Amino acid sequence: MLQKNINDLLVFLSVAKERSFTKAASKLGVSQSALSHTMRNLEGRLGIRLLMRTTRSVAPTEAGELLLKSIAPRVDEMEQELSRVIEFKQQPAGTIRLTADEHAANFILWPKLRNFLREYPDIKLEIDVDIALKDIVSEQYDAGVRLGELVHKDMIALPISPEIRMAVVASPNYLEKRSLPKKPKDLLKHQCINLRLPTAGNLYAWEFDVNQREVKVHVEGQVICNTLTQMLQAAYDGFGFVYVPEDEVRIAIQQGRLIRVLEEFCPSIPGYYLYYPNRRQHSFAFSLFLKIFQQQN
């Protein structure tokens, strides 16, 4: 029975994890109709419904959830064991999937990984740039990079950067006819470029250190973004102040393209951590990847 059902079970796992026939079909490189046909055959042979389908969503039934929890870890373990076979090749290969926010991807990961990729041309790297706190296990990432205070406690966490200093900047064009803020609350009189957080959907409150006390300022402005690139472009175009990591704007400040204010009030926040599940074995490619960051600690 197993031999007859193994491929169909892999299809079920993909659809159940993605909660979508469309996403699963894209990932597996087959048509949605083929996946639907496979699932009907599997459910017919087992004599039980595994997936609930509506026009808007797909979700495992109670029996499907039980099967998912039972076989998914075993399939993951088999995939990990198969990946170890790569060690017998002269040149390591495989795909490493990472999720990181935009700043970490640009300033922490890429400067180290570009040489790594040149050294191992058969290793592929996929970086999903997103500020959302994703579940790297359920979404099948090898690792994630987030600020230390945001890393889940059940993960192995490796510090990979110093503390991050923040900066408040605006363009000379914006400040041409406006007075400079002298204290954080003065920002309430200015246009500021906000960041929309992906989880609760709230706007990020700018954090300052005033007399060794944390002060949060809920700024307002015409522009709301969800990426650093958008925020910085709006700042360059004169739409107000922006609150970003210092190294994102250091060169622009030196060149006079942006003007920094409130420097004495801007705090340093915990640095970035590389985090990943506590697995007994990793792929050879991922083990090589980890060495890059373990060597700096």
Could you give the C-alpha distances from 57 to 22, 32, 125, 189, 253, in angstroms and in order? Answer: 10, 14, 30, 46, 48
> What tokens does 174 get?
């914006």
Q: Both tokens of residue 236?
A: 């360059």
Q: What is the pLDDT of residue 296?
A: 67
Domains of the chain: 3-85 (1.10.10.10), 92-161+270-293 (3.40.190.10), 164-267 (3.40.190.10)
Q: Which pLDDT belongs to residue 133?
A: 75
Confidence (pLDDT) at 216: 96
Which helix (H) or strand (E) segment is 50 a member of? none
Alpha-carbon span 284 to 272, nearest angstrom: 24
Query: What is the predicted pLDDT for the residue at 85?
Result: 65
Amino acid 90: pLDDT: 57
Q: Give me the pLDDT at residue 2, please.
A: 54
Task: Quick: pLDDT tens for 166-205.
Answer: 999 999 999 998 999 999 999 999 999 999 987 666 899 9
Which regions of the chain are under pLDDT 50?
none
Residue type, 226: N
Write down the pLDDT at residue 3: 57
pTM of the model: 0.69
CB contact at 8 A, 177 and 258: no
SS3 category, 236: helix
Structure tokens given for 202: 């709230």
Here the tokens at position 133 are: 């706190």
pLDDT score, position 84: 64
